[in-house]
Structures are given as C-alpha cells and as structure tokens.
Amino acid sequence: MFVLFAAVIAADQLLKWWAWRHVADTRINSGGDALVSATVSEWFADPVDGAVLDLLSALLLSLAVIALLRARRNSWVTISGTLMLAGWSSNLLDRLGLHFWTAPHSVRGAIDYLHLGAHYYNVADLFIIASTPVFVLSLTADGLVSAVRHRPRPSIARLARLARRAGGATRTLRARSLSLRAQVVAASAALGAVAGTAIGAMNSGTVTAAATLASSTGHR
C-alpha cells in the first residue's frame, strides 16, 4: 500500500504545482475546513498556533498510517484507508513547507484550485471525501464479520477467556521489550515532524491566491 500512498501524494502535489502556475483561480486555504469552527480555522492560520496544530496533525497521521500498515484487514479497508490518509497527508505537507515549492511566496496552507459551488478543493480533498465513507463502512462491516466469525461457543467460553488473558500478558511483555532500534526510529520521526513544522512556519509568504501573485509580478 506504500506505493499507492506515495502515488496519491505525488499526483496531488504535481497538480498543485501546475495549478498555481496555470490556473488563475487557485487560492491558499490557510485555515481549517468546513468541519471545524471559525475559531479553529483562525488557530490554523496563526503562525504559532498553526505550527503547533500542524505538529500534532503530523504525529496523529503518522500513528494512523502505522496502525493501518500493521492492521490485518480486508482490501476495502486497506485501500480506502490508504487513499484517505494519503489525501490528509498531502494537504498537511503543504502546511509543513512543501507549499514553498508548489506555490512560492504563498502563505502556509493547502493549495485549492477546483472551484465547485461556493467552495474550493484539490485532488487530495476529493480522495478524502470519496474514501472516508467507504473506509468507515468497510471497517464497520469487517468488525461485525470478525465478531460473528470468532464468537466463542458456550462450552469453551472459559478457555477462550483464559487464552485472551494469556495473550494480553504476552502482548504486554512484548510492548515492554521495545528494542533500542525502534526507539531510535520513533525519536527520529518525531524530530523530523518538529523540523518540518518549523520549516513550514518560517517559510510562510504573504500571497493568498495565484491571481494576486500574477498582478504583483506581471507574470500572467
């Protein structure tokens, strides 16, 4: 699924790079989205508060990607989850500093160029909108199927409980025996997220739309 994850991000970023240079209606969403309040959107747009929220978002997305890779689910869950997380990750990369390449001189934010109705979107948004309900439904269905399939019989319910307890103790021991290599990888990922957030915060420009850039530079 890593190839699919990387392909979605690469395609979305290339289209954002193209739209910023060729689509005059392209603009930067420096705040949140329709799912959050105006106050939260102001937090995302703020240089300091936004950087902190970007860091938290990066850490949460990293945990979600790791959980998806480690989970043994059906193809519907895996594919829809990969598309959903790839879309969120690509938009977050805009805020973490990649906008400096895709949309030079712009404020820190996601690049939107698809004007549909009263709102602006990008390809990453479309992946999120399309895959999220599929992911939720398939994950729910997979959970129900697993619950029915692995329901213990009354005659062996006590043995099943004992087995679960033993398995829980084993998992606890494994968690406590986390290797030094895993700790180094986790620390490196955390430092990378912090560094990316700092770079994104420091390299925020002032341009909020491609048309504004064109009028100020005369390139269009």
pLDDT bracket for residue 63 (50, 70, 90):
confident
Q: Helix (H, G, I), strand (E, B), or coil: what is residue 104?
A: coil
CB 71 within 8 A of CB 138: no
Residue 178's pLDDT band, with cuts at 50, 70 and 90, is very low
Whether 108 and 200 have beta carbons less than 8 Å apart is answered as yes
> Which residue do the tokens 């690509």 mark?
90
At 69, which amino acid appears? L
Inter-residue contact 201 to 108 (CB < 8 Å)? yes
Amino acid present at 65: V
On whether the CB atoms of residues 57 and 197 are closer than 8 A, the answer is no
Element (H, E) at 11: helix 2-22
Please write the tens of the pLDDT for every residue from 186-214. 566 666 666 666 665 555 667 888 766 55
**Does residue 39 carry a pLDDT above 80?**
no
Q: Give the mean model confidence (pLDDT) for residues 103-130.
A: 90
Q: Read off the pLDDT band of 112 (50, 70, 90).
A: very high
* Cβ atoms within 10 Å, residue 23: 17
Mean pLDDT check: name the lowest of 45-59, 104-118, 137-151.
137-151
Using DSSP bridges, classify how beta strands 114-116 and 110-112 pair: parallel, antiparallel or unpaired. unpaired
Over residues 129-154, the pLDDT tens digits come to 999 999 999 988 887 777 676 655 55
Model confidence at 110: pLDDT above 70? yes
Predicted pLDDT of residue 116: 87
Q: 65: helix, coil or strand?
A: helix
Share of the chain above pLDDT 90, in %: 29
pLDDT value for 14:
97
Query: Strand pairing partners for 111?
Result: 28
Mean pLDDT of the chain, nearest integer: 77
